[in-house]
Structure 1
Amino acid sequence: MTAPVWAELVGQDDVVATLGSAVAGQMTHAWLFTGPPGSGRSNAAIAFATALQCENGGCGTCRSCVTAAAGSHPDIAVINTDGLSIGVDAARDAVRRAALHPSQGRYQILVVEDADRLTDQAANALLKAIEEPAPGTVWLLCAPAVEDVIMTIRSRCRPVLLRTPPASAIAQLLHERDGIELDVARRAAAAAQGHIGRARGLARDPDARRRRAEILSLPVGLRGLGDCFRAAQRIDQEATARAKERCDVLDARELSNLQESWGVEERGRRPAGYAGALSSLTKEQERRRKRMARDAIDGVLLDLLSFQRDVLTLQLGTDAEAINADVADDIATMAARTTPEGTLGSIDAIVACRDALQANAAPQLALEHMMSRFLG
């Protein structure tokens, strides 16, 4: 019988078997979890860390499992970032943590959720600790692909490849674990294209489903360059607004913590060194805001990509199931209006836009260029 800790790893039977064997004794000190977005890389790493600390292999109910699930286990540290990268200071803190003996659990476990975001300096800082780990220390790194992690680190890790889980399995999970109506769960799972977290968000949030439907209606409404520019501006502004909404709360909390740690509020003045700390915090917050806005735009691009994919499958007369069955009328309209060659051109434009954003292009300009190519 599968331990409860693995329940969230949908459609990952081979991974569960591998990790379960490691918990039972076939263990190594460094692991690299890879897989497409939403496949559950971080969930797999956290579940593995939990099972390693649990005396019963991941029972889900003991104190160790409960504290691990709550993110408060003293011997499980998660290194992540809301910014564009993980810097050398964070890496050095992790190395210092890795040298400690476990205080309660069997291991000192460090989970690096975004190993692909390590700067070169940060990766080099981790390398020695991963090459020659302290006794009882386990490193769990997560990245989209093996190639995203520098060779010297990945060559010292045991790889764990996660697959995109099937929509049917995700829908069943949402229905059974979250109590979501099965039809809603199925539509959300199909729309999320294997991304469990996004599927759960779509299923639970009617506003998220509404925003997505509005995005999918954009290609049908494009008649000229003016429409293209307005659509691009809308996507950019909404992404910026969503990032601001999320970041404002985090920024205020971090500023308050910084002021408290430096005694700014109590003393009524700024101690020497505070200005530099404030500047560093502000820069990191700006990087986080930028990343969140671009992540939001990328989500829109993936939705548009799935829409054009549905248009193409209809044009070619394939039996492939539609991802966006809820907007079947718009898909049919676009399929009749354009040719398969034109649809492929639109798909290429979306891919090019994603590449441009990765290369730090101005979001609105990249979106305007993409939208203009939708016109053929």
Structure 2
Amino acid sequence: MSVWDSLVGQRPVVDTLRAACTGRGMSHAWLFTGPPGSGRSNAALAFAAALQCAEGGCGGCSSCRTALAGSHPDLTRVRTERLSIGVDEVRDLVRRSALAPVGTRGQVMVVEDADRLTEQACNALLKAIEEPTESTVWLLCAPTVEDVLPTIRSRCRLVTLTTPSAAEVSVFLVRSEGVPEPLAAYAARASQGHIGRARALALDEDARNRRREVVGLPVRLTSLGACMTAAADLTAATQEEAERLTGELDAREKADLDAAYGVVERGRRPREYAPALAALQKAQKTRAKRRHLDMVDRSLTDLTSVYRDALLLAAGAPGPLVNEELRGEVAELVRSSSPEANLRRIDAVFAAREQMLEFNVPPLLALESMMLALRVPRRSAG
């Protein structure tokens, strides 16, 4: 099993990266782009492992295993749970990139969230990419090329990943996770090609139940009360899920901080402890906010898929729906609304997303406004 096996439906990308490992088309800086779930970070990490492997990514040697696990001494991996990556973190990364590698195959610096670099951080990174050290390769990941500073992307070789098909994702789940074929097919369709989301839906019944709640909303939004309740319920459910995911990590970080400052052993708090604790709590609060927004964003993607299905069904398009198991409810949405109305509803979902992610509108307010725009008219008894 090679390092490339985790890249689903990306054969042209794999061919390009394999060729680069042999010296054909190699560059000191690469930019991996692609839609959410396409595997940008996985592709960058697989490439990093292949660059450290004497056989170009065999998957079984120590270099491959440690690189994929993120513990290889000549691999530095930057990812953030916060809203942005600051200049201090990038400056530290640049300093490390200038050090001599431990092994003989050079250093690889992977920045998984290059779209979250602040302006100052971008400028610090630009200098390192403009004047690269001979033994360092930079791998940046972002959703699109427009998410990266033009002066940075112009110095990188572009690798564009595509959304894998439902069939490819389904086969991957059966092969890698042993998921039964019917469940794998459902997860592949429902995830719309997002590998991580497909894996979660295939392996976690709670995730499937949460999704069913979201995709069942459109036909229930028939009154003001139903819209307000739906907004409140979705806000609470995503907040609860975000807190569950971050709570354990927060507690572990707090315990590590206490141990580092000797709070547990000494029974007192050194002077330096208070500012360190304040900085940790601020970072955790930022991470919790981002995680909550990520959970809401995922739900909005699921919600949009229902209206997409309604448009396809109204147009008589062939093939299965994303929400094939809800075909009856989608048909009801088609009967009660025009295609133009469903297009406006998709616009309303995108507007809510923009309000939360770009303009910092509280999720509950954005979702209340959105749910009202999604309201469907009651059908008369006659």
Cα distance, 1:314–1:96 mapped onto 2, change above 3 Å: same
Give 2:117's aligned amino acid. Answer: L
1:263-278 alignment runs, 5 A limit: 263-278=262-277
Give 2:330's aligned amino acid. Answer: I
Give 1:39 deviation, angstroms: 0.4
Alignment partner of 2:19: what SS?
helix
Give 2:160's aligned amino acid. Answer: L
More displaced stretch, 166-175 vs 261-270: 261-270
CA contact (8 A) 1:222 1:228 kept: yes
Give 1:73 deviation, angstroms: 0.9
CA shift digits 1:120-148 (9 cap, x unpaired) = 12112222111112221111000001110
Partners of 2:340 and 2:95 in 1: how far apart? 56
CA shift digits 1:232-281 (9 cap, x unpaired) = 01111111111111111111111122222233333333323322222111
Partners of 2:251 and 2:88 in 1: how far apart? 22
Give 1:312's aligned amino acid. Answer: L
Partners of 1:246 and 1:321 in 2: how far apart? 33
1:172-321 alignment runs, 5 A limit: 172-321=171-320
1:141-156 alignment runs, 5 A limit: 141-156=140-155
1:308-347 alignment runs, 5 A limit: 308-347=307-346
Partners of 2:289 and 2:259 in 1: how far apart? 26
Matched, 1:103 2:102: yes
More displaced stretch, 30-39 vs 252-261: 252-261
Give 1:55 deviation, angstroms: 0.2
Residue of structure 2 in register with 1:6 after alignment? 4
Residue of structure 2 in register with 1:85 after alignment? 84
Give 1:14 deviation, angstroms: 1.1
Aligned partner of 2:15 among 14, 17, 26:
17
Q: Gaps spanning 5+ residues in structure 2: where?
A: 377-382
Residue of structure 1 in register with 2:137 after alignment? 138
Give 1:320 deviation, angstroms: 4.6
Alignment partner of 2:193: what SS?
coil
Give 1:58's aligned amino acid. Answer: G
Partners of 1:99 and 1:367 in 2: how far apart? 47
Give 1:307 deviation, angstroms: 0.5
Give me the TM-score of the superposition, normalised by structure 1.
0.96
Q: Gaps spanning 5+ residues in structure 1: where?
A: none
Partners of 2:269 and 2:203 in 1: how far apart? 45
Partners of 2:220 and 2:322 in 1: how far apart? 20
Aligned residues: 374
CA contact (8 A) 1:75 1:105 kept: no
Alignment partner of 2:6: what SS?
coil
CA shift digits 1:25-73 (9 cap, x unpaired) = 1321110000000000000000000000000111111111111122211
Partners of 2:105 and 2:171 in 1: how far apart? 34
> Following TM superposition, where does structure 1 have runs of at least 4 consecutive aligned residues deviating by more than 6 angstroms?
none
1:54-93 alignment runs, 5 A limit: 54-93=53-92
Partners of 1:183 and 1:107 in 2: how far apart? 45
Partners of 2:222 and 2:151 in 1: how far apart? 51
Residue of structure 1 in register with 2:379 after alignment? none
Quote the RMSD (CA, aligned, Å): 1.3
Alignment partner of 1:83: what SS?
coil
Give 1:361's aligned amino acid. Answer: V
Residue of structure 2 in register with 1:361 after alignment? 361
Partners of 2:303 and 2:349 in 1: how far apart? 8
Give 1:342 deviation, angstroms: 1.5
Give 1:105 deviation, angstroms: 5.0
Percent identity, please. Answer: 53
Alignment partner of 1:50: what SS?
helix
Partners of 2:192 and 2:19 in 1: how far apart? 30
Alignment partner of 2:288: what SS?
helix
Give 1:137's aligned amino acid. Answer: T
Alignment partner of 2:140: what SS?
strand
CA contact (8 A) 1:170 1:189 kept: yes
More displaced stretch, 248-257 vs 42-51: 248-257
Alignment partner of 1:239: what SS?
helix
CA shift digits 1:118-175 (9 cap, x unpaired) = 1112112222111112221111000001110112211111111101111111111111
Partners of 2:268 and 2:125 in 1: how far apart? 38
More displaced stretch, 91-100 vs 282-291: 91-100
More displaced stretch, 157-166 vs 331-340: 331-340
Partners of 1:163 and 1:206 in 2: how far apart? 28
Give 1:362 deviation, angstroms: 1.1
Partners of 1:269 and 1:105 in 2: how far apart? 47
CA shift digits 1:270-311 (9 cap, x unpaired) = 323322222111111101000000100011100010011101
Partners of 1:121 and 1:249 in 2: how far apart? 32
Partners of 1:246 and 1:127 in 2: how far apart? 34
Cα distance, 1:184–1:105 mapped onto 2, change above 3 Å: farther
Give 2:161's aligned amino acid. Answer: L
Give 1:5's aligned amino acid. Answer: V
